[in-house]
Amino acid sequence: MIPTLIMISMIAFVIIQLPPGDYLTTKIAQLQAQDELINEDLIEALREQYGLDKPIYVQYGKWIWNILHGDFGFSWEWQKPVKDVIGERILLTAIISFTATFFIYVISIPVGIFSATHKYSVGDYIITLIAFIGLALPNFLLALLLLFAGYVFFDTSLTGLFSAEFANVSWSGAKVLDLLKHLWLPVVVIGTTSTAGRIRIMRGNLLDELNKPYVVTARAKGLSETKLLLKYPVRMALNPLISGLSVLLPHLVSGATITSVVLSLPTTGPMLLGALRSQDVYLGGAFILLLSTLTVISTLLSDILLAWADPRIQYE
């Protein structure tokens, strides 16, 4: 896990350093275009401070050293330490992603079970159809369509995570309630594709499992259908879903990034986009690093969960 994180941090740093020039050159060009005076001394001081004149590995070393000491650098664009800018946004991204995970499993498992136990019934066909469309519908398109529907049918704008009066005030009980009221849309948008996919997986796995001899034996011995279903086949069919958790979270974080741009949520997406556009190196780097770390940690969690759920798997 640690080597993975180190490699991720390197890749993240290289990516944000890829564009030619750096923030300062962009800034200078901007100032020159506006015919403003350039304070050479200030520029030199900034260059010095961030080691912009040093080779890339020195810059990386400085960057990672500071991060280990809780300093994520300075956001040029926001003129604030990165830590202050992103803290709440990362938190909100995490909240949305974890809520979406919850939503996905709560919906997909029962629906998948229903679909498998009612194979080829009308309900199963409807679910299958919806699942396929859900799979084909990318997050941001779904977001657009929902926004459109909201505008046409309810004449409201469904964007944002907070109502206007809560947007810029500090946290309180009322604000949390307000958040919960707005949370459902992004969660649905981000979760739909994965829910659809998991319904299909659950259905397929359970069907495979239900065909196994032990189920026939249990039925022949007179076990009730519910018990027959829940005791082993469902548990077995759940394993791939649990191990799929490690792929799910990067996927959700990904989806959340672009969805939040469409829905203008105060999460990481729009800010990352802005940071990348204006080459705000430390801000962009911190985002990519933290989002990746989030997913690495969740992978670890899913491994532990799987080992707990399936005693045959041992963690070496």
Partner 1 sequence: MRLFKARENIAKQEKEKYFVATPRQLMWWKFKKHKLAVVALYVLLLMYFLAVFAEFVSPYNIHVRHTRYLYSPPQKIHFFYNDKFHLQPVVYKLKFRIDSITLKEIYYEVPEEVYPVKLFCRGERYKWWGLFETDIHLFGVKPGGTIFLLGTDRMGRDMLSRIISGSRISLSIGLIGVSLSFIFGLILGGISGYFGGTTDIIIQRIIEVLRSFPTIPLWMGLSAALPMTWSPLKVYFAITVILSLLGWTGVARAVRGRFLTLREEDFAMAAYLAGASKWRIIYKHLLPSFLSHIIVTITLRIPGMILGETALSYLGLGLRPPITSWGVLLKECQNVQDIAHHPWLILTVVFIILTILSFNFIGDGLRDAADPYAT
What is the number of helices (H) and of strands (E) in the chain?
14, 2
Site for partner 1 contains 72 (CB under 8 A): no
Q: Which of these segments, 18-26, 30-38, 113-121, 207-215, binds partner 1 (CB under 8 A)? A: 18-26
Q: Which is nearer to partner 1, 303 or 310 (CB)?
A: 303
Q: Footprint of partner 1 on residues 52-71 (CB under 8 A)?
A: none
Residue 43: half-sphere exposure toward Cβ, Cα within 13 Å: 13
Window 26-45: contact mask with partner 1 (x via CB under 8 A): --------------------
Which residue from 199, 188, 175 is spatially nearest to 102, judged by alpha carbons? 188
Site for partner 1 contains 126 (CB under 8 A): no
Q: Footprint of partner 1 on residues 132-151 (CB under 8 A)?
A: 132-133, 135-138, 140-141, 144-145, 147-148, 150-151
Q: Write down the least CB distance from residue 165 to partner 1, Å.
A: 21
Q: Write down the least CB distance from residue 18 to partner 1, Å.
A: 3
Site for partner 1 contains 25 (CB under 8 A): no
Q: Footprint of partner 1 on residues 202-261 (CB under 8 A)?
A: 246-247, 250-251, 253-255, 257-258, 261
- The Cα–Cα gap between 18 and 57 comes to 13
Which residue from 227, 252, 285, 243 is spatially nearest to 103, judged by alpha carbons? 252
- The Cα–Cα gap between 143 and 155 comes to 16
- The Cα–Cα gap between 272 and 97 comes to 17
Q: Which is nearer to partner 1, 203 or 229 (CB)?
A: 203
- The per-residue DSSP string of 93-108 comes to HHHHHHHHHHHHHHHH
Which residue from 243, 244, 241, 237 is spatially nearest to 215, judged by alpha carbons? 237
- The Cα–Cα gap between 187 and 184 comes to 5
Place of tokens 């009308």: 122
Q: Footprint of partner 1 on residues 275-304 (CB under 8 A)?
A: 276-277, 284, 287-288, 291-292, 295-296, 299
- Using CB under 8 A, list all residues that contact partner 1: 3-4, 7-8, 11-12, 15-16, 18-20, 132-133, 135-138, 140-141, 144-145, 147-148, 150-152, 157, 159, 246-247, 250-251, 253-255, 257-258, 261, 272-273, 276-277, 284, 287-288, 291-292, 295-296, 299
